[in-house]
Structures are given as structure tokens and as C-alpha cells.
Structure 1
Amino acid sequence: MGNQMTEMLKGTLEGIVLAILARRPAYGYEITASLREQGFTDLVEGTVYALLIRIERRGLVDVEKVPSEKGPPRKVYSLNADGRDQLDEFWRTWSFLTERLEQLHGGGRS
């Protein structure tokens, strides 16, 4: 990813992760793998884990420890009501921004 992509991703990664969790509960590695499958190949796993800690502290997800076949229990994250509200706000903001960017990209034509 180029520097511009990295900077833009920093501002949207929380919303992207919340959108992934809106589909189904997942643990950190699953989320990272999903992002990589979608083309975010340079995303560092630690970035996702740091984000998960932040959204957990903010009360946007519920966490369940699930036994793992390979090592310690996994923390499975699921979106709760506060997380859904935050995701809704993310999509409203995203829609606003993309509409304005499309106008700018189209030379200001509406």
C-alpha cells in the first residue's frame, strides 16, 4: 500500500472492522484474514489487534473467550448495540464524504 492508502485506511479501519463484525462474530486473526482477502495485503496484524482493544474499551463489542485447539482461548468479538450505532454513524459519514468526493472528482457537477 502506498502512503496515501495507509493514511486513508487509518481513518476508516474502525468502521471497516465494525462492518466485518456486523456480518458475524470473529476473532482477531479472522478479521485480519478477511481484510487481506479484500486486498488490504500490507495490513499488519498488530494494527487490527490494537484496534480491537480500543473498540472493546469503548464498549462497541462484546467479547467471549472461546477454547482454541491451538493454545490459549481466543477472544471472539461480536458487535453490540453501541457498536451498531457507531457503525451506522460511520456509514452516514461515509455516504456524506463519498458524495462530496464524487462531486469534486466529476468537476463539481451534481
Structure 2
Amino acid sequence: MNFEMQIANMLADQIKGFIEFVQKHHQDKNNIFCLHIDKLYQLKLLVEEFKFQVWADELKRINRFTWDENYTHLLVDRFRKGYIIIEEYVGNNYDDLFIFTARLHTLNSLSLILCGEE
């Protein structure tokens, strides 16, 4: 298995994990990490708006058996556009959304490796 293909699959898994993490914290009524539920709801809406689930599923599908460099880079670039806005939103609301920064850092690292912008 190609190294880049493994990175793309890891990125897809991490995107799915981030989506589940956001949804889990949004559904938790006794959330001690985020006191302003509206900010968490906005984060959930941003994740849905930028179609992170679609990009993760497509990355996983494309890189399941063979490495498709061009399409993978296209998908990662589209993911990065939404990621940058979400990262800025979490940074602006760090007091309430600090719990998501580690996941965002992981997504950033993996996507930069695939983009070649380390």
C-alpha cells in the first residue's frame, strides 16, 4: 500500500472521527466543556455546510484499492477550504470550543502532508 494512500485513508478516518466528536458533544445535554451550546451548534452546522462527511467518504472510497493522486489532492483542497474557516471559528471561540483544537491539529497535519505544504 502506498504511503500517501495510507495518509489519505487516515485523514478520512480522522474527519469521520471529528464529525462524530462534534455530534457527540452537541447531543450531550450535560456538556461541561461548552457552556454556550449555540457555539457548539454553529460548529455542527459548519461541519455539515462544508460537507466533511462527503469528503471523508469520497477519500475513503477513492483510496481503498489504488492511489489516485489528482482526485485525492482535489478532495483534500476542498476539505482544507472548510477546515480553515472552522479552525478560525474555533480559535475565535476558544474558551468554549477548546476541546476541538487537538482534533483540528491532527486534521491539519494530515491534510498538509497530502498537500505537500509541511
User: Could you state the TM-score of these two structures normalised by the residue count of structure 1?
Assistant: 0.32
Bigger relative CO (Cα 8 Å, ≥ 6 apart): 2
- Structure (1 or 2) with the larger CA radius of gyration: 1
Q: Which has the higher helix share?
A: 2
